[in-house]
Structure 1
């Protein structure tokens, strides 16, 4: 059994098929929705083994307890600029374009791609559920895209 499932099965594929922000066919092919078991495993290992959704996190969960800074993502997201918040780029400065990342909305919805694909398509990703957590495979840095327009800079 594959560790992936078709993004079309989730009802969320539309965010990557919009004209604006445009996501190329090559990048769409590298945006992979994990099946429920694989997604739950990534969530458990990288995010939380006690909570299934970010809005349920207690204050002692690392996502809340290990914030080292923040930046505004919303103003840049709403602009015509394609760049990514500088503070978040600096926070993840040791991530290469081929670093495997997981965009974790909740335990049942985790997307795998690479840092390079995410940086090109991040505006589309942020049409998905709020408070999503972005973690890099074997990386200590993480990001949380909060509903208030802030990106929390985190250390796992």
Structure 2
């Protein structure tokens, strides 16, 4: 896997912002993926044609209504002082902490981390909430975040 050093990542401030600091022992597990590798992951896991979630085609699995079982609010938890993800998300993604996850902003912008790190610092990832999709390696469960403060809970087909 080829990565970009976090220091060179164009949105690194979302992980180093003083209002939501991430300790160094977690920062080392937040790995921006190179554009070439990100594009490959996106094409294999999300869409062969569309560069971002806003332009998915009707043939892309996220556009199929049958993939999504529920939609819950994430914005209230994001605004709250408590760090936890909404309970509905934790119940939907009953993953071990060491599961590798991909937070997919768009075709050329994907972050790899561990489920434990994402759970702890999810608010940082959602400084940009323009339709990112969270996938787990070899997992069918998926999340699709929306700018309107909701997240779809579903399964990849």
Report TM bin, short chain: over 0.9
Contact 2:129 2:145 in 1 (8 A): no
Partner of 2:29: 30
Mapped to 2, the partners of 1:90 and 1:60 lie a distance apart of 28
Moved more, 119-128 or 61-70: 61-70
Residue in 2 aligned with 1:153?
A: 153
In the TM superposition, residue 64 of structure 1 has moved relative to its aligned partner by: 2.6
Distance, in Å, in 1 between the alignment partners of 2:59 and 2:81 is 37
Q: Any gaps of 5 or more consecutive residues in structure 1?
A: none
Task: Give the distance between the partners of 1:133 and 1:4, measured in 2 at CA.
Answer: 19
The runs of 5 or more residues in structure 2 that have no matched partner are none
Cα RMSD between the aligned structures?
1.2
Question: Partners of 1:115 and 1:75 in 2: how far apart?
Answer: 21
Q: What pairs up with 1:85-124 in 2 under 5 angstroms?
A: 85-93=86-94, 95-124=95-124
Paired position in structure 2 for 1:67:
68
Q: How far, CA to CA, are the matches of 1:128 and 1:28 in structure 2?
A: 18
Match of 1:81 in 2: 82
Equivalent residue for 1:127?
A: 127
| Alpha-carbon separation, structure 1, partners of 2:4 and 2:108 | 12
TM-score with structure 2 length normalisation? 0.93
Q: Secondary structure at the match of 1:16?
A: helix
Q: Normalising by structure 1, what TM-score? A: 0.94
Length, aligned pairs only: 154
| Partner residue in 1 for 2:54 | 55
